[in-house]
Amino acid sequence: MKLPVNRNNGALALAMVLALGASLADPATARDRKAAAPDVSGPAGDYPVTLGEPFVVDGVTYTPADTLNYDAVGKAVAMGTDEGGAGRINGAHRTLPVPSYVEVTSLSSGRTVLVRIDRRGPMSGDGLVALSPMAWSQLGLPGDASAPVRVRRVNPPEPERALLRTGQAVPPRMDTPPGLLAALRRKLGLEPPVGELPVTIHPAEVAAGATKPPAPAKPAVKVADTPTPKPQPKPVPKAEVATAPKPAAPPEPPKRPAAPAAAGRYYVQIGAFSQRGNAEAAARKAGGSMVQAGSLWRVRSGPFSAGDEAERGLAKARAAGYAGARIVRD
């Protein structure tokens, strides 16, 4: 027994199959479907850039702005893994566009890394930037709650942007020169102004009764450095040459007695570097030597005797571009 066939239903099913195939083969439909799901790991992942409305943190109002030459110093705080920073070199800032890219420099070591800013923060405290655990580790910051840093907005090339968008690290930048690093630390109040650098006191001097570091020695002005002009004799007529008395020589200025040399030897510490190559370059430039102290390489010149000789060594180091150089005692 044959069942009746509904030819109208068969025709309808065939029409639906043909319509679906046509839509899949249509290039315009395929483009629309691709546009509906953009690839956030590609260049489109950096757009659109957003700013947002002003907001308040601890009583201070922050207004996001598209500042192209942003450059500031402050504190970096660690961002928790539950804040969206797990597995990425990213960070949070209160006013920079989202997303944007910055170079973050540790003012302790001079190391600089590239970070992608993709969120707002920190939402409490006085931190300038919040860094993900991977960014914190790549910068070599200690496990403290905050660390002094410099944040400078940059426009990196697309290959570096792509690495950060996919959670990969960009190779670190060159270490910041010691002179610039010292200037940034002074800007944040971490070092005294130039001319007021303290002299390091040896522990033996503290045990002997020294309670505070002595004031930095000022360059001594010797009497011989400012010679007294000698009076010129008046012209004598020819007839009186034989009888004219010879002018008396002016009295010589009194000589300043030399101060007794202090016990011990003095050095000029030029700087401390995290990479040996940078320390060797500084030693060649300033005429010093290297001493390894833990993970750092310290460069110093000397030894010098106390007083003018040590001051001349300090002046030479600063003239070579190392404004943070200071006198230390062995």
In DSSP notation, 296-328 reads: EEEEEEEEE-TTHHHHHHHHHHHHTT-TT-EEE
Q: Rounded distance, CA 101 to CA 111, Å?
A: 17
Where does the chain hold its CATH 2.40.40.10 domain(s)?
55-176
Would you place residue 227 in the very low, low, confident or very high pLDDT band (cuts 50, 70, 90)? low
Q: Name the pLDDT band for 84 (thresholds 50, 70, 90).
A: low
Q: Identify the H or E element spanning 162.
A: helix 158-165
**For residues 43 and 224, what is the distance between their CA atoms, to the nearest angstrom?**
71
**Class for the domain spanning 177-222+263-330:** alpha beta
| Superfamily of structural domain 55-176 | RlpA-like domain (2.40.40.10)
Copy the structure tokens of residue 319.
Answer: 């003239």
DSSP 38: -
pLDDT tens for residues 116-144?
A: 999 999 999 999 999 999 999 999 888 76
Which of these ranges, 29-38, 162-171, 219-228, 229-238, has the smallest mean pLDDT? 29-38
pLDDT tens-digit profile of 188-197? 988 877 655 4
> Tens digits of per-residue pLDDT, 276-305?
888 888 888 777 788 887 778 888 877 777
